[in-house]
Amino acid sequence: MVKEFDPPSLLRNPHAMTLAAAFWRRSFPRLPASQPRFFETEPGTQVRADCHWQPDPSEHPTLVLLHGLEGSSNSGYMLGTAEKAWLAGFNVLRLNQRNCGGTELLTPTLYHSGLSVDIRSVISELVARDSLPEVFAAGFSMGGNLVLKMAGEWSATAPSAFRALAVVAPALDLAACADALAKPENFIYEWHFVTNLRRRMRYKAGLFPDRYPAKELQPLASVRSVREFDDAITAKFCGFRDACDYYARSSAKHFVALIARPALVLTAQDDPFVPFESFNFPALRENPNVSFTPSRYGGHCGFVARKGSANGEEREDRFWVESRIVDFCSAHSRLVR
């Protein structure tokens, strides 16, 4: 049973919650320094994980974390979850999606919401090469879509060491999320994503000019929305007909019915741009392996909890959702003591 989320009264506005979590100044003094590791996920493509290993990794469970759109392994929620998982006894890998976290040179390709092959390859290598006995995965927003998609594609064929998964605000209906971002009240989020996506694409084209010739990037100048970017860039260079085709083929909602491992799906009913209505499909509630846990408040990947005490008991950690991920994975581990 997941403990109920209790936000401060000032953060019951979804935009205040989302922005507060994004800009909250945090430190992670109990998280040890990371070691980089590179995984080849496709020919010519590598991704980098920032790894925190326990003294004897093979005696501990391992948690692989995946960030959201235009995030990185250094996003606050990645570091916060990593610290809590490390203290609970997990090895932790903070995985960068392709091109994120300064890894543009590691692949000529772009990243997008359908590349579940990357996290699948990482987990497969950890099981086959490292012989790690238990591996878990957790993803946020776009990363949540990828983790769910991976688990559904694997279904019952997943390695036995892959134990469970947890996702926060997964963008499992990409078209619905793109439409929500385009609403006037979500201008600040759309502007942030589009500005960074355009900047990254121009930088990428400078690194691989033969693959991304200037004449084919001309539509980038007029892109003003995530959907327009996906039409002009993602679809063109990633093998999709258009944005609609990309969204249809990459949305995890089509794979949820096939998930054969314990899965925790956490989301907020007031999320500004992952619409709560996008979770209204039968497979999410009918698959016995999936625990769907909506919260009334939380914004987008926010979930900043009230501090202090109540009824004589200390309240939950300030960053509530990070603790829920670790609790869920710990409950499905045989190695956590």
What's the pLDDT at 59?
96
What's the pLDDT at 1?
64
What's the pLDDT at 48?
98
pLDDT, tens digit, for every residue of 227-249? 999 999 999 999 999 999 999 99
Assess contact for 240 and 231: CB atoms under 8 A.
no
Q: What is the mean pLDDT of each run of 10 residues along the chain (337 residues)?
A: 87 97 95 98 98 97 98 98 98 98 98 98 98 98 98 97 98 98 97 97 97 95 97 97 98 98 98 98 96 97 80 67 97 92
* CA-to-CA separations, 324 to 29, 123, 180, 225, 321, in angstroms, rounded: 20, 22, 26, 33, 5
* Class of 9-173+251-331 in CATH: alpha beta
What's the pLDDT at 312?
44
User: Domain residue spans in the chain?
Assistant: 9-173+251-331, 174-250
| 161 three-class SS | coil
What's the pLDDT at 316?
56
Structure tokens at 32: 């040890």
What's the pLDDT at 337?
74
- Tell me the pTM: 0.96
Helices (H) and strands (E) in the chain, counts: 11, 10
Assess contact for 328 and 88: CB atoms under 8 A.
no
